[in-house]
């Protein structure tokens, strides 16, 4: 069996017909991985300072049923850096423009961390464009000063000095199992962070960790209450940003939401335990 030491991005995509390209989303060059030929579309959204490889272990199983898109969000990865502080409406507008570009009037949206925050706001602002919604250890419901400080410290250290150790420290913070090296993701992220000008881009990404900026972007109880799409709120036993009670609180504010907890995972359950994640995720998308 392939173990964590030999699994790479290429082994995850082995035998899969996919394309990796840069598309124009409302004037923003946007990196996108596309796979599958299903009649229905799903878009995966990563977290703060991340990139589409966050979902590399989930593309193939979902491509059996759906047309799958994983993107680098605005200002992230290899997508264009607009050169200004990034707030939730900027990400929402970019997502809407991306859907326009791929010709998807409606889609399933699955967001992790920041991606979940963007997805939840998208669900409020564009309810007619959403089939189902997955909020995976999603941000946007609270402002924890210690967590915000930790994100800034680890992220800026990795961007300013993208050594193997600093980037690996940023990745390991996300995971429950600290014994693994996560070499494939560390190598991918190190290349992202070594792009010219990425330190300035990271400062723009960190805007939502500023208390004042964060406060005006948070989802309110009435916002969550306005979500009409069928919603899965997925949390984990070892999430470093918020405990299970916060995930449950979010689910209770969204009418009819399903709540699931994955054991033994941190902030990236889709990566740490893809088999369980894919089962829960696909069952929900199918309405089971």
The whole-number pLDDT of residue 7 equals 77
Structural contact between residues 143 and 178, judged by C-beta atoms closer than 8 angstroms: no
Please provide residue 24's backbone torsions phi and psi, each rounded to the nearest 5 degrees.
-90, 110
**What is the mean pLDDT of the segment spanning 40-60?**
97
Q: Are residues 18 and 34 in contact, defined by beta-carbon separation less than 8 angstroms?
A: yes
What is the per-residue pLDDT across 114-124, written as a single tens digit (0 to 9) for each?
999 999 999 99
Query: What whole-number distance in Å separates Cα of residue 2 and Cα of residue 206?
Result: 36
Q: 232-265: per-residue pLDDT in tens?
A: 999 999 999 999 999 999 999 999 999 999 999 9
pLDDT band (50, 70, 90) for residue 14: confident
Q: Is the pLDDT of residue 40 over 90?
A: yes
Q: Give the closest residue to 178 by CA, choosing from 4, 46, 3, 38.
A: 4
**pTM summary value:** 0.96
pLDDT number for residue 55: 97
Q: How far apart are CA 136 and CA 116, in angstroms?
A: 6
Q: What is the DSSP letter of 207?
A: G
What are the residues facing 23 on neighbouring strands? 30
Q: What pLDDT does residue 1 have?
A: 35
Domain spans, the chain:
9-143+220-285
CATH architecture of 9-143+220-285: 3-Layer(aba) Sandwich (3.40)
């Amino acid at each position: 069996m392939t173990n964590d030491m030999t699994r790479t991005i290429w082994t995850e995509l082995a035998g899969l017909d996919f394309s990796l390209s840069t598309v124009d989303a409302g004037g923003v060059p946007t990196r996108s991985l596309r796979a599958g030929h299903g009649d229905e579309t799903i878009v995966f959204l990563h977290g703060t300072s991340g990139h589409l490889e966050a979902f590399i272990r989930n593309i193939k199983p979902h491509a059996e049923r759906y047309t799958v898109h994983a993107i680098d969000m605005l200002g992230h990865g290899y997508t264009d850096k607009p050169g200004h502080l990034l707030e939730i409406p900027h990400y929402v507008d970019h997502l809407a423009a991306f859907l326009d570009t791929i010709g998807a009037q409606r889609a399933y949206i699955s967001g992790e961390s920041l991606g979940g925050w963007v997805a939840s706001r998208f669900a409020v602002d564009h309810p007619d464009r959403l089939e189902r919604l997955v909020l995976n250890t999603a941000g946007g419901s609270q402002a924890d000063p210690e967590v915000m400080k930790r994100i800034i410290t680890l992220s800026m250290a990795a961007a300013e000095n993208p050594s193997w150790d600093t980037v690996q420290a940023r990745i390991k913070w996300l995971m429950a199992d600290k014994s693994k090296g996560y070499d494939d993701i560390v190598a991918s992220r190190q290349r992202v962070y070594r792009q010219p000008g990425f330190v300035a881009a990271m400062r723009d990404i960190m805007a939502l960790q500023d208390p004042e900026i964060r406060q005006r972007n948070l989802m309110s109880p009435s916002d969550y209450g306005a979500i009409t799409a069928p919603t899965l709120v997925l949390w984990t036993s070892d999430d470093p940003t918020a405990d299970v009670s916060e995930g449950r609180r979010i689910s209770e504010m969204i009418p009819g939401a399903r709540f699931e907890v994955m054991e033994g995972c941190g902030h990236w359950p889709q990566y740490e335990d893809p088999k369980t994640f894919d089962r829960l995720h696909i069952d929900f998308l199918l309405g089971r």
